Structure 1
Amino acid sequence: MHDTSTGSTARPSRRAVLAATAGLTAALTVSTTARAATPDDRRLRALISRMTLEEKVGQLFVMRVYGHSATAPDQADVDANLSEIGVRTAAELIEKYHVGGIIYFTWAHNTRDPRQIADLSNGIQRASLGRPRGLPVLVATDQEHGAVCRVGAPATLFPGAMAIGAGGSRSDARELGRISGAELRAMGINQDYSPDADVNVNPANPVIGVRSFGADPDAVADLVAAEVKGYQASRVAATAKHFPGHGDTAVDSHYGFPVITHSRELWEKLDAVPFRAAIRAGIDSIMTAHIQFPALDDSGDPATLSRPILTGILREELGYDGVVITDSLGMQGVRSKYGDDRVPVLALKAGVDQLLNPPSVDVAWHAVLTAVQEGELTESRLDESILRILRLKARLGLFGHAYAEPARVERVVGTRAHRAAADKMAERTTTLLVNEDDLLPLGRRAERRILVVGADPASPTGTTGPPTGVLGAALTELGFTATALPTGTSPSEAAITRAVTAAGDTDAVVVATYNVTAGSAQRTLVERLLATGRPVVAVAVRNPYDIAQLPTVKACLAAYCWTDVELRAAARVIAGRVSPRGRLPVPVQRADDPERVLYPVGHGLSYESHIVSGA
């Protein structure tokens, strides 16, 4: 979960959330579906037998590297690589450490545009395949869609997981995976760290939240399985994360060490359900969580380093024999108890196959090498993981077709049909929570001049600006005269006053809210705008729990993220061009009594009429 932006929210009782989802699930029987050995096993084992120990160690690592090119990055990226990795380029990283995988990040300047990404991928494959025992590379990224994306436009950007949960369509989830997978594969990316299989039952979860499909484990399981099948139909390895389940924590494992207090029985009924579904769907890889789960292992170790969890439960009980990859080894959750030299060794002893993005690849690589040389790890143990990794590469067709085709990038990535599918999908996810006095849709009466104010959180990939600007532009295209006035996630008194003054010259106000809390200045902004007498529409652009803190708002939509595709859909709902169809995939508790549910799973309003024609 090196991959996320975070936000804060009020914390209702965890017991209330679990109670709100009670009755929605039943324990599933233990899956005994182990991945069968492929016909290539004899060839792959022979290949492993010819590898040096250093090459074997390298195959276990998936590493970051700066730059848009495998051989000629910009000087600033060369400097960053020398500082953090000790090499100048991706090609030198492969030459020195024989890494079996590379992960792309936006901030590492790996993902400027689709053609550049394809060229980078091809440069990486050339660097690896050109070696004496050249092997194809697993090129990976976090393309969850919604709040976590690494590849932006002109690639197609879809609604995030909780939005898809609000739509509730397995067909949409599979189509998202199929299209996104096809575009990633066209750019040479063959492993995606998605979907998120966590069941988000804690509204205060700062790191999962809208990255989860919802709070009903059976519904989450259905959508996880569907998305897995979509990605893997496009020959991209899907990755269910974060095992054994990160959905009930108020601690971000990037910065702390979360503890999950679920009983073993509750884990079976809640957290395990989507992972079992992913395994039945033939999931290629599963990512571990840097969490402590005493009911599953009372040693105090994080799950990433726990043999009882990864071997005892995931391998033996759930019957999973695919690739197990750690979450980023640079996160605090896995570094709290052991040093960076011990973490990779302990992860392998626990049952991990791929070691993701250690803070120092040199320290981690040499630690594993030394552990084998000194007998703490056996070479045969490494061979087990390498066989799984090579099986995955073979299933993806990388031994015969590792390279991206430049012409295919133009034909596949960000096509009009793909973007239209994303827009229609977003329309099916937007959720109308409140609509007193039929305030929505706007424009049926005299509300033509609209002021758009509110939050301006840091923009994820997939946005062209703050939510206010995107909403304002979308409403203007729909025939309104919309003015955008960002006020921020913590608006000052001066910003609130400017917004209230501006509201006097408009017919209605749209407010983008972002994780509103009881003492939030966002709440003060909404209350002051309501006092003007102008119609006020709130659009929750991240967690749908904001409505609990805005009890006097007469109209509220949940968009589930502030990416363009979700905000454009919200604008079409506001304008009445489409009727909202989304239904809450998580319960919303009362702010004044968190033990009581304000809006249950499945709540959502539609327009009985008032659909406005037009472009």
Structure 2
Amino acid sequence: MTRRILALCSTVALTVASIATPAGAHDELGRRIAAMSLPEKVGQMIVSYVYGDSAASASAANEAMFGPGVATPAQAVETYHLGGVIYFTWSGNLSNPPQIAALSNGLQRAALGDTGIPLQISTDQEGGTVNRIGAPLAISPGNMAVGATFDPRTAQDAAKVSGAELRALGITVTHAPVVDVNTNPRNAADGVRAFSDRTAHVAAFGAAAERGYRAAGIGTTAKHFPGLGDTTVNTDNGVAVTDQSRAEILRTHVPPFRAVIAAGAQSIMAAHIVAPALDPSGAPASLSKPIITGLLRERLGFNGVVVTDALEAAALEDYTDEEVILGAVRAGVDQLLMPRSVPGAIRILLDAVASGRLSERRIDQSVRRILKTKTTRPYVSEPPTVGTPAALTTMSGIARRSITTLRSAALPLRPGQKVLVTGWGATTTTTLAAALGATSLYTGSPSDALIAQAVAAAREADVTVVTTFNAWSDPTQPRLVEALLATGKPIVVAAVGTPYDLASFPSAKTFVAAYGYQPPSLAALAAVLRGEAPAPGRLPVTIEGLYPYGSDGR
């Protein structure tokens, strides 16, 4: 199987080159597009999820989404000439590396047999909290942890490792890096997904990440233009609005996108955020011509692929399918990510061209941009090689450099102490307890009864480590921490989300920011708590009234 796939790689590489060779083949690309049918062109603009762990997996869920007789992922790709497929765990795509690589190869065979054009296969693998594929891959600690190293080379290293592992699985595009500037501590969209709350910091780390992904041979999708850092609402769940002025947005949130464009970003994701200062009509950025064409394309000079954020998002629920699909394309978008109905979206575009409301020339513009990105070899070896010692070492090294100790009264933990680990995250508390040789009591968002149970256990322990995650958004977590502090026993607060949590219990005498709960971060956190490693990280954000940007607690 492996030899056959590698042989196919050589053959298909010639096809890919003929589609996307940039210099001297401009007319050839035009001829390729001219030979495509309108449905084939429109299909290239659609990126959808599919159900199943193999290209031939039949599923009633696929038929419900794509129509009768379209039961397998391969049939969905062939029937609608899909330009892209996005992988998720909940859709059954991501069980283990050999399965993922086989699925990718199967979908590529379907795409190449249909149109001769490789399929874009993508997923959201940012590291940290947004991480679709776990072990045995080497997982990045996440952007804010990377930002806490204050060394952009760590962003490049993490991206290069992550990108190479995704490519080994047949994934050609990662929907990363996030280059939002997290200026609002109560941001439910970004938080630890952002490198920092400082524009220059995000720009430097975002550009470095872009270079790392490019070195790994994987496409990227910098997001979420024009920036979600000032909002409190995640557009997946509702309407997000920024009231910042045009000057503020251009000064604070746009420069990181300029930086990743300069670093070679092939794709940028348009957010559904409403920015009246950029578009007084109140249209979400993803449907706004002033924002997509006026700002991104004309002012920033970006001529790559613009993809929407997921069109199933709650932020767009007041818009009809036609308003969403045509609005996005008229705004200057090229790829429609996860439309509410794939057949419906395609029909809307075909009807719009037939009626003259949308020109085929406009469709061709997007198809040209999309085909230019399809330059990587579509097939991969089976089984894939991931999780190498070198890759794991890179990620663990970054995590060790990120841990930030702001207050250290109860540290280090001493041998022989009876340690309790409690708080947020079932896996987090058990994993950390195992690393510390401690007992664990998971509380999550605790009830009064669980708080009382944790307090009783803390009274019996010599020291308690309590984990928190975005405690500012969950009043039960501060109540737990305050109750533990009231025992008078040594309490170590370990934030495995944003470090803003300290503002919710400022009297805590020991506070360590790990910025994440992926295995590398928990291992690094445990080493710091035991006194076996330093905590060289610095705050990449400001904790208002307590610690400034760049602080290391000393």
Of 407, 413, 416, which aligns to 1:442?
A: 413
Counterpart of 1:570, as a letter, is: L
Structure 1: how far apart are the matches of 2:144 and 2:322?
A: 37
Summarize deviations over 1:507-550 as a string: whole Å, max 9, x none: 21100112224982322322332233321100011121111111
Alpha-carbon distance, 1:422 to partner: 0.8
Matches of 1:562 and 1:176 in 2, distance apart?
16
Shift of residue 205 of structure 1? 1.1
Relative to structure 1, is the Cα distance of residues 110 and 39 closer, same or farther in structure 2, using a 3 angstrom cutoff? farther
Please say if residues 335 and 343 of structure 1, whose CA atoms lie closer than 8 Å, have aligned partners that are also in contact: no
Q: Cα 1:202–1:113, aligned 2, differ >3 Å: closer, same or farther?
A: same
Tell me if 1:454 matches 2:423.
yes
Give the whole-Å Cα distance in 2 for the aligned partners of 1:580 and 1:454: 22
2:269 to 272, 283, 287: 287
Q: Which residue number corresponds to residue 354 of structure 1?
A: 335
Shift of 1:37: 4.9
CA shift for structure 1 position 363 = 1.0
Aligned equivalent of 2:8: none
Amino acid paired to 2:456: T
Read off the aligned partner of 1:55 and give its amino acid letter: E
Q: Which amino acid aligns with 1:169?
A: D
Where does residue 14 of structure 1 map in the other structure? Answer: none
State the AA in 2 paired with 1:66: Y
After TM superposition, give the deviation of residue 447 of structure 1 in Å. Answer: 5.4
1:201-260 CA distance string (max 9 Å, x none): 011111111111111000000000000110011111111101011110112211222111
Find the counterpart in structure 2 of residue 522 from structure 1.
Answer: 477
After superposition, the Cα gap between the structure-2 partners of 1:39 and 1:474, relative to the gap in structure 1 and judged at 3 Å, is farther
Q: CA deviation at 1:150?
A: 0.9
Letter in 2 for 1:392: T
Contact 2:197 2:541 in 1 (8 A): yes
- Residue equivalent to 2:11: none
Alignment-derived partner of residue 134 in structure 2: 152
1:404 maps to 380
Partner Cα separation in structure 2 for residue 516 and residue 345 of structure 1: 40
* 1:108-158: CA deviation from partner (whole Å, max 9, x where unpaired): 111111111000000000011112x32100000000000001111111111
Which residue identity does 1:453 align to in structure 2? Answer: T
The answer to whether the Cα contact below 8 Å between 2:296 and 2:302 also exists between their aligned partners in 1 is yes
Q: Who is 1:487 aligned against? A: 443
Q: Following the alignment from structure 1 to structure 2, what is the Cα–Cα distance between the partners of residues 122 and 178?
A: 22
Q: SS of the residue aligned with 2:322? A: coil
1:378 is the counterpart of 2:359: yes
Residue of 501, 510, 525 corresponding to 1:555: 510
Q: Is the 8 A contact 2:472 2:500 kept in 1?
A: no
For the residues of structure 2 that align with 1:487 and 1:72, how far apart are their CA atoms? 39
Query: Is 1:105 aligned to residue 88 of structure 2?
Result: yes
Paired residue secondary structure (2:269): strand
Say if 1:332 and 1:523 are closer, same or farther in 2 by CA, change over 3 A.
Answer: closer
CA–CA distance in 1 between the matches of 2:473 and 2:66? 44
1:555 partner amino acid: T
Give, as a single letter, the amino acid of the residue that structure 1 aligns with 2:546.
L
State the distance in 2 between where 1:517 and 1:308 align. 35
Q: How many residues align?
A: 533
Residue 325, structure 1, aligned to residue 307, structure 2: yes
TM-score (norm. length: structure 1)? 0.84
Identity of aligned residues (%): 46
SS in 2 for 1:325: strand
Aligned: 1:61 with 2:33:
no
Given the alignment of the two structures, is residue 51 of structure 1 paired with residue 36 of structure 2, yes or no? yes
Partner of 1:124: 107
- Aligned-partner Cα distance in 2 for 1:298–1:581: 45
Say whether 1:334 aligns with 2:316: yes
Partner deviation per Cα, 1:574-615 (whole Å, 9 max, x = no partner): 0111111111111112xxxxxxx2111111137xxxxxxxxx
Question: Please, which of 580, 600, 614 is the counterpart of residue 548 of structure 2?
Answer: 600
Q: Distance in 2 between matches of 1:335 and 1:391?
A: 32
Displacement of 1:551 after TM fit? 2.0
Q: Map of 1:153-192 to 2, 5 A cutoff?
A: 153-192=135-174
SS of aligned partner of 2:327 = helix
Are 1:470 and 2:431 matched, yes or no? yes
Superposition deviation, residue 557 in structure 1: 0.8
Distance in 1 (alpha carbons) for counterparts of 2:125 and 2:66:
24
User: Corresponding residue for 2:532?
Assistant: 577
The answer (yes or no) to whether the contact 1:304–1:334 under 8 Å persists in 2 is no
Query: What whole-Å deviation, never above 9, does each CA across 1:187-213 have from its counterpart, x for those lacking one?
Result: 000100000011010111111111111
> Which one of 238, 248, 259 corresponds to residue 220 of structure 2?
238
| Preserved contact between residue 310 and residue 352 of structure 1 (Cα < 8 Å) | yes
Write the distance in 2 (CA, Å) between the matches of 1:314 and 1:194. 18
Matched residue SS, 2:405 = strand
Output one character per residue of 1:17-38: Cα deviation in whole Å (capped at 9) or x when no partner. xxxxxxxxxxxxxxxxxx9954
Whether the aligned pair in 1 keeps the contact of 2:179 and 2:257 (CA below 8 Å) is yes
Task: Report the Cα distance in structure 2 between the residues aligned to 1:50 and 1:353, rounded to whole angstroms.
Answer: 19
In structure 2, give the amino acid aligned to 1:179: V
More helix by share: 2
Secondary structure at the aligned position of 1:324 is classed as: strand
* 1:229 aligned residue: 211
Map 1:242-257 → 2, pairs under 5 A: 242-257=224-239
Residues 518 and 549, structure 1, Cα contact 8 Å, conserved in 2: no
Distance 1:71 1:366, change over 3 A: same
User: In structure 2, what is the equivalent of residue 417 of structure 1?
Assistant: 390
CA distance in 2, matches of 1:300, 1:447: 61
> Aligned partners of 2:212, 2:388: CA distance in 1, in Å?
18
* Alpha-carbon distance in structure 2 between the residues aligned to 1:39 and 1:365: 32
CA distance in 2, matches of 1:246, 1:455: 26
- Secondary structure of the corresponding residue to residue 546 of structure 2: strand
In 1: Cα distance, 2:194 partner to 2:537 partner: 15
The CA deviation string for residues 276-328 of structure 1, in whole angstroms up to 9 with x for no partner, is 00111010100001011111111111111111111111111111111110001
Confirm or deny that 1:70 pairs with 2:55.
yes
Alpha-carbon contact 2:222-2:269 (below 8 Å) kept: yes
Partner of 1:17: none
Aligned 8 A contact 1:159 1:566 in 2: yes
**Most deviating of 185-194 and 158-167:** 158-167
Cα-Cα RMSD: 1.6
Q: Match for residue 23 of structure 1?
A: none
AA matched with 2:432: L
Partner of 1:430: 403
1:194-233 to 2 correspondences below 5 Å: 194-233=176-215
Call closer, same or farther: CA 1:494–1:72 in 2, change over 3 Å.
same
User: Which whole-Å CA distance do the structure 1 matches of 2:173 and 2:474 have between them?
Assistant: 42
Q: Residue 28 of structure 1 corresponds to which residue in structure 2?
A: none
Q: Distance in 2 between matches of 1:265 and 1:519?
A: 33
1:533 is aligned to 2:488: yes
Quick check: 1:447–1:508 contact (8 Å CA) kept in 2? no
| 1:594 corresponds to | none
Q: Could you tell me how far apart the structure 1 residues matched to 2:237 and 2:481 are?
A: 32
In structure 2, the gaps of 5 or more residues are 1-19
Q: SS of 2:223's equivalent?
A: strand
Matched residue type, 1:257: V
Specify the code of the residue in structure 2 equivalent to 1:442.
L
